Amino acid sequence: MQKRTFGAYSGWSLALAIVMFYALLPVLWLISLSLKTPATVSDKKFIPQDVTFDNYTALFHGGFDSPLLRPLINSVAIASIATFIAVTLASFTAYAIARLTFPGKSVILAGALAIAMFPPISVVGPLFDMWRRLGLYDTYPGLIIPYLTFALPLAIYTLVAFFREIPWELEQAAQVDGATPWQAFTKVILPLAAPGVFTAAILVFIFAWNDFVFAITLTSSDSARTVPAALAFFTGDSQFTAPTGNIAAAAVLVTIPIIVFVLIFQRRIVAGLTAGAVKG
Amino acid sequence: MTAVPIGRKAAAKKSGGPTQTSDRTKAERKLALMLCAPAVVCMLLVTLYPILYAIVLSVQKVDLRFPDESGFVGLSNYVSVLTSPLWWQDVFNTSLVTVVSVVIELVLGMGLALVMHRALFARGLIRTSVLIPYGIVTVVAAFAWFFAFDPTSGFVNSLPFIPDDKAWFGNRGSAFEVIILTEIWKTTPFMALLLLAGLATIDEGLYEAARVDGANAWQRFFRITLPLLRPALLVALLFRTLDAFRVFDSIFIMTRGSQDTESVSILGYNQLISRLNLGLGSAVSVLIFILVLLIAFVFVRFLGTAVPSSQGEK
């Protein structure tokens, strides 16, 4: 065993400080920029001299015609719906893979893995063409469908790993003790499966929330454009003022939910991320 | 964290294997196929079908600006792409970003994983910190670093030893430095977490034994940690290499490919979406797909990466 000396503790504290600095530096810089006034935005200082929230309020000025409100609603709706569908479909598949015997199991897993490595840019052109013909271009389903598909492998791998660790024999034990199959499922299996399902949902949501390639290729207006795509096409009040403060404010706003997620669910996210990738 | 087959064994026992009546087996297969069908159909429709469609488009002249001139042109789109210096430049750029960022990530990620593995306290805090870059939207990360290096408003140029007026994005080399830095910042945590999970599977007793035998810290790392970490390491490398090869978001935000910083994905985007040249753009898409297949093949065939699917029962 390592001796837990004062030196070890201070070394560890230093490492912790370095890691936190590394992770938070760009976020802090964005927060700083977002609070600066137009006059001080170029002062290169980390602490804003005059604090203003104008950059934030400007993002929502004008309601549905504002730069951020529609994209924000689109992002939340599209990512949530894609997450719900992907996790539902992946749960069926993962249950079958973890619990049932059938041929083609390894084919499905290998196929899912292949899709996890698939370059999205390779399907963007055909999807662009297909979606225009099918009327899905620049609509919610037009983004939900690719998101849920590309998130399925991640969700399936995470759920298979979790489902394999569920002691399924408890289901029978409960039935022996007089529970109906439905009770055995809802009272015994569901609570055991919920953390895995939830973890998969978090990972899928982060994936859909993060996407940029599909968001800029399969949309053309605010009717389905998500926040990352909207950010890339932000314009200032005039053509010649770079909207640094506004972009920074919007960037901070879309980062807050992620930081909250990560703070609350860090243990689960780590378990989910590493679930499929390490050989048992 | 690893899928140790406790539940699996029980499940296998319960389903009885081949000795059970075939009716039961059949019913189980039917249920399994029904459960898998929606996800499988979805994956095939949105990836396999479009890639086949891309192959079809790539041998035709399809330019949405000139819809009347469509027609079969054979391999001439591929010839155009493969003989253009821009394609090879972009392949080089993409490979450069991939190799440099993955190598640095590997070293940093390994250090981070070792630090996290030996955590004395505040485990949750360090985990949260490293998950922030992972969770943050890539476009946001790109903007954050873009603004940090921006000569008019960024803080980087006010740091010591850096010229105040250095135009980071005005020159290919320095633009790549920032792009690669962004990639590394964003994805090192993912690498570290995969390696950390690998570290957790190593038996602590081995280190004790090595220490008793007089091995120093370096020897323990190179003789025990690295060899035992090899499977996890290769999987992490494979995932990150393929992911880095898709580099798009940060380049799009920072330079849009100017100063010769274009990646193959940006080239595909420009042809397909900006120029609406679906034929030529699809040829680029198919070539990118082939390159990704090649990388995966090299990892699995020559480096012996045991892809996670092989842990599923045969």
Give the model confidence (pLDDT) of B58-68 as tens digits: 888 888 887 77
Q: Are B131 and A270 in contact (CB under 8 A)?
A: yes
Same structural domain, A44 and A122:
no
Cβ-defined contact of A160 to B132 (cutoff 8 Å) = no
**Alpha carbon of B103: minimum distance to chain A alpha carbons (Å):** 18
Separation of first and last alpha carbons in chain A: 26
A272 or B101: which leads in pLDDT: B101
Residue A233 lies in a domain: yes
User: Is pLDDT of A214 > 90?
Assistant: yes
Average pLDDT estimate for B111-121: 84
Convert the pLDDT of each residue in B185-206 to its tens digit: 999 988 998 888 888 888 888 8
Residue B168, Cβ density class (10 Å: 0-12 exposed, 13-18 middle, ≥19 buried): buried
Tokens standing for residue A232 = 């890339």
The verdict on A164 and A239 lying in the same domain is: yes
pLDDT for position B306: 67
A22 and A65 together in one domain: no
Element (H, E) at B61: strand B60-61
**Residues of chain A contacting B283 with CB distance shorter than 8 Å:** none
* Ordered structural domains, chain B, with CATH: 59-305 (1.10.3720.10)
CB contact under 8 A, A156 and B39: yes
A66 or B42: which carries more pLDDT confidence? B42
**Shared domain check, A18 and A69:** no
**pLDDT at position B97:** 93
Rounded to the nearest angstrom, the minimum Cα separation between A180 and chain B is 19
- Quote the tokens at residue A143: 């983004």
In a domain, A280, yes or no: no
Residue partners of A196: CB distance under 8 A and separation at least 6 = A158, A159, A161, A162, A163, A166, A272
A187-194: average pLDDT: 83
User: According to the model, what pLDDT value does residue A76 have?
Assistant: 92
Nearest 10 degrees: CA dihedral of B33, B35, B40, B42?
A: 140
Q: Is the pLDDT of residue A83 over 90?
A: yes
Residue A84 pLDDT level (bands cut at 50, 70, 90): very high
So what's the pLDDT on residue A277?
55
Facing A109 at nearest CB: one of B141, B285, B309 = B309
Among A126, A143, A135, A132, CA closest to A227: A143
Mean pLDDT score, A166-170: 82
Q: Are residues A22 and A111 in the same domain?
A: no
DSSP-derived 3-state class of residue B277: strand
Nearest CB partner across the interface for B147, out of A33, A101, A160: A33
Task: Find the residue in A nearest to B11 (Cα).
Answer: A99
**Tell me, what CATH number does A134's domain have?**
1.10.3720.10
Region B212-218: mean pLDDT is 85
Residues A118 and A225 occupy one common structural domain: yes
A42 vs chain B: nearest CA distance in angstroms?
Answer: 4
Inter-chain contact A279–B29, Cβ cutoff 8 Å?
no
Reported confidence tier of residue B13, pLDDT bands at 50, 70, 90? very low
- Average pLDDT value for residue range A76-94: 92
A8 domain-assigned: yes
Nearest to A87 by CA among A163, A170, A165: A163
B1 close contact with A: CB closer than 8 A: yes
User: How do residues A111-161 score in pLDDT, each as one tens digit?
Assistant: 888 888 888 888 888 899 889 889 999 999 999 999 999 999 889 988 888
Chain B positions touching A217 (Cβ under 8 A) are 269, 272-273
Q: Decide if pLDDT at B309 tops 50.
A: no
Cα distance from A63 to chain B (closest Cα, Å)? 23
* Residues A136 and A21 reside in one and the same domain: no
Domain count for chain A = 2
Last residue of a domain, one of A52, A72, A90: A52
pLDDT in tens, B237-268: 888 898 899 999 999 999 888 878 889 999 99
Q: Which of residues 201-240 of B touch A (CB under 8 A)?
A: 201, 231-232, 235-236, 238-239
In the structure encoding, which two tokens stand for residue B140, read together? 């946001």
* Residues A34 and A79 reside in one and the same domain: no
Structure tokens at A98: 């973890």
The mean pLDDT value for B68-82 works out to: 83
Q: Please tell me which of the candidates A149, A213, A270 has its beta carbon nearest to residue B42.
A: A149
pLDDT confidence band for A239 (50 / 70 / 90): low
The shortest CB-CB distance from A121 to any of B140, B185, B285 is to: B285
pLDDT-derived band of residue A56, with 50, 70 and 90 as boundaries?
confident
A-contacting residues of B 153-182, CB under 8 Å? Answer: 153-155, 157-158
| pLDDT band at residue A278 under the 50/70/90 scheme | very low
Q: How far apart are the first and last CA of chain B?
A: 22
Claim to verify: residue A151 and residue A263 sit in the same structural domain: yes
CA B276 to chain centre: 27
What is the least distance, in Å, from the CA of A261 to any CA of chain B? 9
Nearest to B132 among A23, A247, A254 (CB): A23
Residue A36 confidence (pLDDT): 85
Q: Could you count the other beta carbons within 10 Å of the beta carbon of residue A238?
A: 7
- CA dist., res. B237 & res. B78, Å (int): 30
Confidence (pTM): 0.87
Whether A237 shows a pLDDT value over 70: the answer reads no
Q: In terms of domains, do A20 and A132 share one?
A: no
Contact of B277 with chain A, judged by CB distance below 8 Å, is answered with no
Q: Does the distance separating the beta carbons of A15 and B50 come in below 8 Å?
A: no
Q: Do B265 and A213 touch (CB under 8 A)?
A: yes
**A72 vs B72 pLDDT, higher one:** A72
Give yes or no for residue B287 having a pLDDT over 90. Answer: yes
Q: Which of A126, A231, A258 sits opposite B54 (nearest CB)?
A: A126
Cβ-Cβ pairs closer than 8 A, A with B, add up to 359
Whether A82 and A8 share a structural domain: no
Higher pLDDT among residues B5 and A222, named by residue? A222
> Taking the C-alpha atoms of A215, A217, A219 and A222 in order, what is their torsion angle to the nearest 10 degrees?
60
Both tokens of residue A43? Answer: 């002062």
**Does the pLDDT value for residue A275 go beyond 60?**
yes
Q: How far apart are CA B77 and CA B189, in angstroms?
A: 40
Chain B interface, best mutation among A264, A266, A268, A269, by max B CB count within 10 A: A266
The token pair at B9 is: 């064994």
Whole-number Cα distances in Å, B45 to A10, B38, B42, B51, B290: 55, 11, 5, 10, 19
> Cβ contacts (< 8 Å) between B25 and chain A: which residues?
101
Contact B50 A126 (CB under 8 A): yes
DSSP chain A: -----HHHHHHHHHHHHHHHHHHHHHHHHHHHHHHS-TTTTTS--SS-SS---HHHHHHHTTGGGSTTHHHHHHHHHHHHHHHHHHHHHHHHHHHHHHH---TTHHHHHHHHHHHHT--THHHHHHHHHHHHHHT-TTSHHHHHHHHHHHHHHHHHHHHHHHHHTS-THHHHHHHHTT--HHHIIIIIIHHHHHHHHHHHHHHHHHHHHH--HHHHHS--STTT--HHHHHHT---SSTTS--HHHHHHHHHHHHHHHHHHHHHHHHHHHHHHHHTTS--
B15-71 confidence digits (pLDDT tens): 444 555 678 788 888 888 888 889 999 888 888 888 999 998 888 888 888 777 777
**% of chain A at pLDDT higher than 70:** 94
Q: What is the pLDDT of residue A276?
A: 58
Considering the domain architecture, whether residues A26 and A105 belong to the same structural domain is answered as no
The Cα of B213 is separated from the nearest Cα of chain A by a number of Å equal to: 15
Q: DSSP labels for B223-253?
A: IIIHHHHHHHHHHHHHHHHHHHHT--HHHHH
Nearest to A101 by CA among B23, B43, B26: B26
The answer to whether the beta carbons of residues B140 and B121 sit under 8 Å apart is no
**Domain span at A24:** 1-52
B chain contacts of residue A29, beta-carbon cutoff 8 Å: 144, 147-148, 155
Mean pLDDT over each residue of chain B, to the nearest integer:
83
A89 contacts B38? CB cut-off 8 A: yes
Q: Does B248 touch chain A (CB under 8 A)?
A: yes
